[in-house]
Structure 1
């Protein structure tokens, strides 16, 4: 081992240094939250039915499956003026902002292609770009934050993610109820409140990422090697032929730490649930709480009527806005839980806290069906006052459990995994770990629409119950995870 790998303790970071490392995640999640709360709404306005919604949403995990491992491997071997992770974070943010500006304007490009096709393409661009940002951000925290501060580092990241998610989720609601923009969409178009929310989201995304890029200085290769106990050559670009690098990549997959394999089971049940929530919460509460008949989500039926009755359009718009409030609600609860998450994990252990958090989320989903109440109530949201069904307000209760689960999902798997990964391959392994995020969403995307239409006759509230059962299964699976399994033969494989 060269002299550069002599033992040197990685310096602790101040709170604000940790904050700056993760701050860009606020903007990335701002954009991601806008997408989660509004893409089903946009695609429905452009003509998608309930069955096909989950298929369109497949774009997101497929992009993650393709992009994140490649970006992880590339960022492991990239050392430039901006460092190794920041170039990818910046490039991804710029591309995501472009997608956010264009997607809600799909009807303007009807001369070039069908709005649904253009919308799907912009969804693919946004998701690919979000993934280019996400993976290097995860690795940047692992690079910069020493092991003793890992729980704090990922908890701060979770806090910022959820602050961004809160603002992004409520933005269309605010633009409608405070600014006064229209929240209903004409046939084949997107509501103005959603369009402007995406414009603002693109601005916040780019601005927060620039903050991290210019306020964080990554370690030089020789310093990184010294802190992580690596050989100097481990931080040099890999100039092996493409075929050899692909072969090495598959070897890495085959030799992944057992901790990663065990966490994959937990991740499957967790992300299967989350995918269902993001895709089907809007139609579920529109039907279950606003009493809109399922036929108004059927393009075949809609084609037989001259126009959608105003009260149906209004109910869909109000329900779509309230989904933003619910998603903001779980993000608020997640942000609050993130504040104490590190302390709880330090005191009671990551596994217990992680398992109980997922159980809270599962029970939250299962309780959705209990809160149906059509009576109207006036609600003061501080920024405005709205009248909604009592059941809509009561749905904030299960969002507490969902928020607790979301905070844990954002932090605990990565905190548990980081100690099992070789420092020279953190990025590529974090990218490979994204398979455990993408694959369950792909499976949900292929199966959830079929289940909804063939088993539940398009009654969307029941697919939310399926999400609850899946999250509870994830809580059980946590107990089979062993955190202390470093990867074998870490010095022999370079992707």
Structure 2
């Protein structure tokens, strides 16, 4: 079936739900470690507490991809039912996670939150490939990245913004500040509303051969064999992209889990206070603890706001690519390589920066983030069977979650420990990892993946 080229606003509408998804991811990525630290987590334990996120992605995304490939409703389409289910569950989890009374409760909510976000996110990737002709794939994924950038920047600044509006940023020991609770509640509302906007403004193409689709759908107990068969026969380009993804996502998982302890400690010089180090029965000691805790919470707001800058620069990067790819082809391979190099430099500079200049590190990281969210998917979508797009997008997620699992199970602590005990060394490792990912782009040789080839080439 020949797909018609879509206009900007049609692509915007079908991608708008990603605003909510990114609100969820940005709040999770920017503030879960802060919540863990507030509830008493030790610095070295934080990556392991994050393991729920990649584990749920490893399990959920291939399953949702498989099921959405085999779903069709004349009213709701193929992907949209999964958007809606994921949005409802994610919104509930976002609202309740900052109210966690204990560390294990927060870790459990992270598990639910990430699983729910993945239910919504994977079908969005497949929807671009479903709806757009191949010549518009880069354009479509770049517009998604533009929306993701907006969501990242706004959501990362929410705790700072609500505290500026008068919501308290102070709290007792072991209690998450009200500014964070209000920010997560806003994120829950935006998540649901933005997904609903896409559900009600976007239509989907039916299966090309409905009879063959129904026969395939009627097959029983094929999920595991189909997944294993497609893993065994994934295209070579997909495997090479997997190497790039491994080092890219190791770097970003390191940032999400360790940026708050690393930057509050090294850049802002306000590490989280350990209550056992203070005599809380002494008035002066208790006051000293409260002062140190408030300084940590305020610098955590500043870290979150600085992290939001990478969403802003990824948005600017995506906007530039949106204008360019709407009329011209790009070399996806070299664009991705250069972007990852810039992101790696941003991480490496964190060891030497000041609070005032930290934002420029995240500007550079934003170029890498904007490319990671678009270029690999554009290259992948030109290399796989369109009838199995959902499944392959889900399987491709393995190359995202496996490095995160390795990082969470001790990879970050081990590799950064080779440089010394300081938390900032984790950011150095993230920079080196992104530079390696950039070099791995040299592995990509498929011309159609690098630059979409039209008949006139």
TM-score by length of 1: 0.85
For 1:382, the equivalent position in structure 2 comes to none
For 1:351, the equivalent position in structure 2 comes to 333
| Preserved CA contact (<8 Å) 2:250 2:407 | yes
Q: How does 1:400-419 map to 2 (within 5 A)?
A: 400-419=363-382
For 1:103, the equivalent position in structure 2 comes to 97
Query: What do the CA deviations read for 1:42-75 (whole angstroms, capped 9, x no partner)?
Result: 1111111111110011111101000000000000
2:77 is aligned with 1:83: yes
> Which whole-Å CA distance do the structure 2 matches of 1:483 and 1:182 have between them?
54
Query: What do the CA deviations read for 1:388-435 (whole angstroms, capped 9, x no partner)?
Result: xxx112011111210000000000000000011111100000000000
Q: How does 1:375-454 map to 2 (within 5 A)?
A: 391-448=354-411, 450-451=413-414, 454=417
Aligned-pair CA distance for 1:231: 7.6
| Preserved CA contact (<8 Å) 1:46 1:189 | yes
* Unpaired runs of at least 5, structure 1: 1-7, 108-114, 372-390, 487-495
For 1:492, the equivalent position in structure 2 comes to none
Aligned-pair CA distance for 1:309: 2.1
For 1:94, the equivalent position in structure 2 comes to 88
For 2:454, the equivalent position in structure 1 comes to none
> Which whole-Å CA distance do the structure 2 matches of 1:436 and 1:397 have between them?
29
For 1:129, the equivalent position in structure 2 comes to 116
Aligned-pair CA distance for 1:451: 2.8
For 1:266, the equivalent position in structure 2 comes to 244
Q: Equivalent residue of 1:117, what SS?
A: helix
> Which whole-Å CA distance do the structure 2 matches of 1:231 and 1:252 have between them?
22
Aligned-pair CA distance for 1:281: 1.1
2:298 is aligned with 1:318: yes
2:243 is aligned with 1:249: no
* Unpaired runs of at least 5, structure 2: 450-457
| Preserved CA contact (<8 Å) 1:420 1:484 | no
| Preserved CA contact (<8 Å) 1:262 1:481 | yes
Q: Which of the residues 191, 203, 226 maps onto 1:217?
A: 203
TM-score by length of 2: 0.92
Query: What do the CA deviations read for 1:163-206 (whole angstroms, capped 9, x no partner)?
Result: 111110000000112x1111133112111000011111000000
| Preserved CA contact (<8 Å) 1:63 1:124 | yes
Query: What do the CA deviations read for 1:245-281 (whole angstroms, capped 9, x no partner)?
Result: 3112201100001111000000011000001111111
2:151 is aligned with 1:164: yes
- RMSD (Å), alpha carbons: 2.0
Q: Which of the residues 295, 298, 311 maps onto 1:331?
A: 311
> Which whole-Å CA distance do the structure 1 matches of 2:18 and 2:346 have between them?
26
Q: How does 1:288-303 map to 2 (within 5 A)?
A: 288-292=266-270, 296=272, 301-302=276-277
Which shifted more, 355-364 or 27-36? 27-36
Aligned-pair CA distance for 1:303: 7.5
> Which whole-Å CA distance do the structure 2 matches of 1:105 and 1:142 have between them?
38
Which shifted more, 267-276 or 323-332? 323-332
2:21 is aligned with 1:28: yes
Q: Which of the residues 124, 139, 144 maps onto 2:131?
A: 144
Q: How many residues align?
A: 441
| Preserved CA contact (<8 Å) 1:45 1:187 | yes
